[in-house]
Amino acid sequence: MKRASGIRLELGLMALLAALSALSICAGRVWIPLTHLGGENDPRWLIITALRIPRTLLGILVGAALGLSGASLQGYTRNPLADPGVLGVSAMAALGAVLTLYLNLALGSPWILTAFAMGGAAVGVTLLILIAGPAGDAVSFLLAGVILSSIASAGVALALGLAPNPWASSEITTWLMGSLADRSIVEVQTAAPFILLGGALLLTTGPALDALTLGETGARALGVSLRRTQTSIAVGVGLACGAAVAVTGVIGFVGLIVPHAVRQFVGERPSRLLIPSALAGADLLLAADILVRATPHANEVHVSVAMAALGAPFFLGLLIAMRRKLA
């Protein structure tokens, strides 16, 4: 029953993603209906090919990476509050990117910034798992996330305060305010291989995540290697979230909201949550990006602000619901 519901959900999410992708290509300061384009000589094609198609592809990739990472972390930790943003993984990735901007290392090659961001995310996930333990409760994971976020925030604040020039300070601020605006096909080509590789690695952990619902002892009895699973989760989230942060900056709450929204349709089995969470994450981020482009203000609102406005009340409601359940 749940499996059939999950298949229908995946098909519905893919149909929604196709519709949102078409809308994303058309929407902007200037609405460009695809049916009214006058061929390749139409100057509006440049807007579509150089700006809107890369932005749409990046929204899909980053949203899927965040949604899948959130579902994987929640399945591994058996903790509904696990999320790359809430637990400091995205902040550590941003710290890695900020270090390259502060030291002017990214001028030589954009791959350096991507590598540092992925390294920061991997360090964040590893420290999170080591501090809280694979069977940590909600409090321990939240405290571990606070520690990582504090370390990353302190490092970013120090880099901002000691920035050698206004350009570096402006670039650092840009990465802290996550956005899909003004991204080109270069950013897509930079992030896509690592997001796809990290996502594929996370998808392989499905059977192990199912076994972990029985606890560590039960998982070991079924032949699951906890060390291998932990490494796969750390590397997969590090690759996916690190590459996402490297090209868009920090965009929070996608990995927290999406698994909870999807879980009611597919059940509690973690492996069935992975693909729908990736699709729903892409849908959510793409829809949020379309909405911020539709704002009437001269300056576009950053998509991270829109996600925070949506995610903070959701997070608060989740905490209240958990508190009532425990009471």
For residue 34, what are its two tokens? 């695809």
Distance CA 184, CA 108 (A): 18
Q: HSE, CB side, 13 Å, CA atoms: give it for residue 184.
A: 4
Whether this model's pTM surpasses 0.85: yes
The sign of the dihedral angle between the CA atoms of 16, 57, 301, 293 is negative
CA 78 distance to own-chain centroid: 19
Q: In Å, what is the CA distance from 228 to each residue of 18, 124, 212? A: 36, 18, 13
C-alpha dihedral (77, 80, 86, 88), degrees to nearest 10: 0
Q: Does domain 2-326 have CATH number 1.10.3470.10?
A: yes
| Residue-wise DSSP of 4-19 | HHHHHHHHHHHHHHHH
Angle at 4 between CA 65 and CA 75, to 5 degrees: 40
pLDDT per residue of the chain (327 residues) written in tens, 0 to 9 = 556 677 888 999 999 999 999 999 988 777 787 776 656 677 778 888 888 999 999 999 999 999 999 999 888 888 887 888 777 888 888 888 888 888 877 666 667 888 888 888 888 888 877 776 655 555 666 677 788 888 888 988 888 888 777 777 877 887 788 889 888 898 899 899 999 999 999 999 999 999 988 887 888 888 888 878 888 888 888 889 888 988 898 888 898 889 988 988 888 889 999 999 999 999 999 999 998 887 776 577 788 888 888 877 877 877 787 777 766
Distance CA 54, CA 88 (A): 28
Neighbours of 79 (CB within 10 A): 20
SS3 27: coil
Closest CA to 83 of 255, 199, 245: 255
Q: Domain limits of the chain?
A: 2-326
* Cβ atoms of residues 83 and 256 within 8 Å: yes
